[in-house]
Amino acid sequence: MLAHFRLRDVIQLLGLGCLVLNRSPIAAARVVEGRDQETPTSGRQVIKLDTDWRFWHSFENPDGIAYDQLKAYILPGANDFIADPSDHHKRPSSEPNITVRYADNKFDDSDWETVKVPHDWAIKGPFYIGDDVPVGGGMGRLPVQGVGWYRRKIIIEPSDTDKEIYLDIDGAMSYAIVWLNGRLLGGWPYGYNSFRLDLTPHLVAGKDNQLAIRLDNPTQSSRWYPGGGLYRNVWLTKVDKTHVGQSGTYITTEGVSSSSATLNLAVTVENKADVKRDIHVSTDVYKFNPETGKMGRKVASFPRAAVSVSPGQNVDSSSSTIVKNPQLWGVWTSQKKPNMYIAVTELRTGGNGKVIDTYETRFGIRTFDLSSKGLLVNGERVRIQGVNQHHDLGALGAAFNVRAAERQLEILRDLGVNAVRTSHNPPAPELLDLLDQKGFLVMDEIFDSWEIQKNPNDFHLIFPEWHEADLRSFIRRDRNHPSIYSWSVGNEVGEQYTEAGGTAVAQGLVDIAHDTDPTRPVTASLNYAKPNMTFPTAFDVISLNYQGEGIRDTPAYSHLSGITTYPLYTAFHEAFPDKLIEGSETASALSSRGTYIFPVVDVNSAPINDTSGGNSTSMQVSAYELYSADYGASADKVFAGQDPYSFVAGEFVWTGFDYIGEPTPYYDARSSYSGIVDLAGFPKDRYYLYQSRWRPDLQTAHILPHWTWPDRLGEVTPVHVFSSADEAELFLNGKSQGRLVREQYSYRFRWDKVVYAPGELRVVTYKNGKVWAKASVQTVGNASRLRLAADRSSIRADGDDLAYITVEVVDSKGRVVPNASNEITFDVAGAGELVATDNGDPADFTVFPSKQRKAYSGLALAIVRAKAGKRGPIIITASGANLKTAQVVVKTR
């Protein structure tokens, strides 16, 4: 086996700070398929353009440029993704008659900020507080708006003159327009999609070439925090003039069994040379371990094919092969391994047989069957235990970071999650690699609005001209990921209300998706469309937002205005008896970690107001986990709404993690309350409710609330326990409060009449008559010291890897003080630096990069990055007034 490298292994740092991935032709693929297979012989070189960007941002339009004015130059970039040639856009024959100062090679950007990409210009804040602000709670109260310019030099070696050189941008927020050496190349308005521009015609070899990228973020463009900037990776791809095209491989499987699987492969060969090329296409398939990046043995080869490609043309070469005894990709909750393969495609010239391109595609072999019987993976039913996830990474904002995303998935896995809906936009490509690798299912979603707006500046403005290109490029990019079981083309779109008109738009999108990937079903989430309407008929899968469990249909919600919807799982099942039905958004239960508000409602689900679970002054929601958005439901109500119906395939909870923006019900706050996990990554009580359901074999019991209530002596203080047990007995200071049996369709043990006295609460739970799990909470003393814990003891010294440091405020006996809000100061010395702090409080307006952070319900978080190439320990110290200081050391490697 040849040597393997991972992305983080810096092989060569050029003068400009480029990371060059220089590796063997069959070295393991990294995170984005088709990338980093560079060798001098294979002809493909992929360079991460992360360092040395110059950045400048203005809240006003500093250059008078508008997308609409230049779109004639941008739209031709969509042509590769528009099926009908008569709809293709033609670039105007003359160049735009404008002077673009910031794109000029001679412009002096030396006083601009130097930044590393991925970069989110808004995350450092400050927050906008109050009413009359440019960005309100919905978009996260952070300065996302305005125009950002990024400039960077690119040196092209003289030996590159015969190459085709592309700029690949994984996501730029938003309305990207790109210039090279002063010449407008193109762009891509939708900030979540990946796109490619050909730099070749305007590059000068051996010289500094000036790249300039303009991004423009309007206000009122989103219902959540979008972030701003080059917030995902940017790459320079150098290839032979004749090469595998962008997202140019497509692998499907058929006849999958434990003894054999047929693989079908289409390779798009693109010829940018000015002569016809005769090319031999060959592809070998290997076992692949995404965790180590290592390839295993060769398991199959596709028959070699010869194609002849005229100048400027793309030709598809298709072939099939068989893999014997395939190791199937499986979902982790079924105790199945997510086995992966890698297809290594080589293009050779017909003449001397020289390899001119090597392109790697990761894929998996598995079957999905979707029907009214639910989701079968390799023939076995897998219940969808899913969560919705927005794209921000908490205190890091939208700037993508592999470790931050991996940590989220680790926390979700511990909770029992096996599926993610990428609400409501294309994710970072690396996230899909992680989801494949860890055995999660994915509903890959692209749009939150179509022709009808939700916000004045959202996607509806460009839907007519861009939806086809956005949808096709998104599916082509993602279609080889085994984890994706369904495409979603929309979320709660306004077209649900327009019947025939809306259905036609839906059908148009479904047709595009089927045409681009005939193997996967297509859905869109319905929060309004009913079984007797035409809109749902357009979709292969019925995905209900809140309608399954019912909206405002119980007495606790009856005083609210808004539509009442009775639970609709059965009605949809009757109307669409063959289709898979799932809850694409469930619950919208809300809570602030560790906050308990009295009195506690006696029903299992209630909306929030100042007399029911909420405090609009402190902007906190009670963590008894019984309270929801006005249109939502508690987890208990959701479960009871699903369990009678075996045809319900499962659900995606709104949401796994809290996210920035949309702080329902308190829009004066900064981040959401809906997460099972808070913004900092700390589990709320709800975590244990879902864990008890999703990991029924885990012997756990979780008591709430905490038991330190000096002001509640003698007051009724309900105690609830989450456990997968069927019986439980609670003791207060040794005295039984009763032994309870969990009834059908009830999901918690609740002792609502407990009178508070300091001391100890202890629960013993039973399953099938045997002791199952025990837990206790105690009344704790005053805050006395800090305790630190790092999520990992060593991290890579690559400038990207992160250590997550949790600080707990504890009493003299080392017990967490549950209401501690002490101000903590973090100091980081040695080989690392502090990136951000948080505490999960949706109403904390301390800026994320601050080294001071108040504890919230006893906890706070520091995110620490290793400095690139710097060896030695990172020493993290946390201190606070009247608290014993704590220190933790993280090694670098």
Tokens read off for 496? 């649900």
Q: Which of 164, 346, 492, 495 is catalytic?
A: 492
Provide the terminal-to-terminal Cα distance of the chain, rounded to the nearest Å.
Answer: 25
Question: What distance lies between CA 731 and its chain's CA centroid?
Answer: 42
In the complex, least distance from residue 390 CB atom to ligand GAL, rounded to whole angstroms: 8
In the complex, least distance from residue 568 CB atom to ligand GAL, rounded to whole angstroms: 15
In the complex, least distance from residue 674 CB atom to ligand GAL, rounded to whole angstroms: 6
In the complex, least distance from residue 425 CB atom to ligand GAL, rounded to whole angstroms: 11
Q: Which is nearer to ligand GAL, 424 or 670 (CB)?
A: 424
Return the residues of window 95-154 that contact ligand GAL according to CB under 6 A.
none
Tell me how many helices (H) and strands (E) the chain has. 8, 49
Q: Which is nearer to ligand GAL, 51 or 449 (CB)?
A: 449
Q: Which is nearer to ligand GAL, 494 or 758 (CB)?
A: 494
Binding mask 567-606 for ligand GAL (x = CB under 6 A): ------------------x--x------------------
In the complex, least distance from residue 591 CB atom to ligand GAL, rounded to whole angstroms: 13
Q: Are 553 and 626 in contact (CB under 8 A)?
A: no
- Bridge partners (DSSP) listed for residue 833: 865
- Bridge partners (DSSP) listed for residue 723: 701
Q: Checking DSSP bridges between strand 45-48 and strand 183-188, what pairing results, if any?
A: unpaired
Q: Which is nearer to ligand GAL, 614 or 830 (CB)?
A: 614
Return the residues of window 662-681 that contact ligand GAL according to CB under 6 A.
662, 664, 674
Q: Are 92 and 73 in contact (CB under 8 A)?
A: yes
Which of 73, 288, 596, 654 is in the footprint of ligand GAL by CB under 6 A?
654
d(CA 258, CA 343): 20
> How many residues in the chain?
893
Q: Which is nearer to ligand GAL, 142 or 653 (CB)?
A: 653
Q: Which of 585, 625, 727, 808 is catalytic?
A: 585
585 counts as catalytic? yes
In the complex, least distance from residue 669 CB atom to ligand GAL, rounded to whole angstroms: 14
**What's the CA angle centered on 844, arms 839 and 845, to 5 degrees?**
125
d(CA 192, CA 400): 12
Which residues, other chains included, contact 105 with Cβ-Cβ below 8 Å and sequence gap of 6+? 181, 182, 208, 210
Secondary element (H or E) of residue 432: helix 429-438
Q: Which is nearer to ligand GAL, 210 or 664 (CB)?
A: 664
d(CA 226, CA 234): 18
Q: Which is nearer to ligand GAL, 585 or 685 (CB)?
A: 585
Binding mask 195-234 for ligand GAL (x = CB under 6 A): ----------------------------x-----------
In the complex, least distance from residue 25 CB atom to ligand GAL, rounded to whole angstroms: 44
Return the residues of window 699-718 that contact ligand GAL according to CB under 6 A.
none
Which of 247, 345, 527, 543 is in the footprint of ligand GAL by CB under 6 A?
527
Return the residues of window 412-441 that contact ligand GAL according to CB under 6 A.
423-424
| DSSP label at residue 128 | P
| DSSP label at residue 692 | H
Q: Are 713 and 757 in contact (CB under 8 A)?
A: yes
Q: What is the DSSP string of 33-50?
A: TT-S---TTT--EEEE--
In the complex, least distance from residue 368 CB atom to ligand GAL, rounded to whole angstroms: 24
Tokens read off for 28? 């393991």
Secondary element (H or E) of residue 415: helix 402-415
CB count, 10 Å around CB of 579?
A: 22
How far lies 214's CA from each of 91, 193, 287, 423, 492, in Å? 19, 16, 42, 26, 31
Return the residues of window 529-548 that contact ligand GAL according to CB under 6 A.
545
- The verdict on 446 binding ligand GAL (CB under 6 A) reads no
Which of 154, 265, 446, 629 is in the footprint of ligand GAL by CB under 6 A?
629
Q: What number of chain residues touch ligand GAL (CB under 6 A)?
A: 14
In the complex, least distance from residue 585 CB atom to ligand GAL, rounded to whole angstroms: 5
Q: Which is nearer to ligand GAL, 136 or 880 (CB)?
A: 136
Instruction: Give me the residue whose beta carbon is nearest to ligand GAL.
Output: 588
Return the residues of window 453-492 that contact ligand GAL according to CB under 6 A.
491-492
d(CA 428, CA 480): 15
- Taking phi over 0 as left and psi of -120 to 50 as alpha, with beta for the rest, 759 belongs to left
Q: Which residues are catalytic?
A: 492, 585
Footprint of ligand GAL (CB under 6 A): 223, 423-424, 491-492, 527, 545, 585, 588, 629, 654, 662, 664, 674
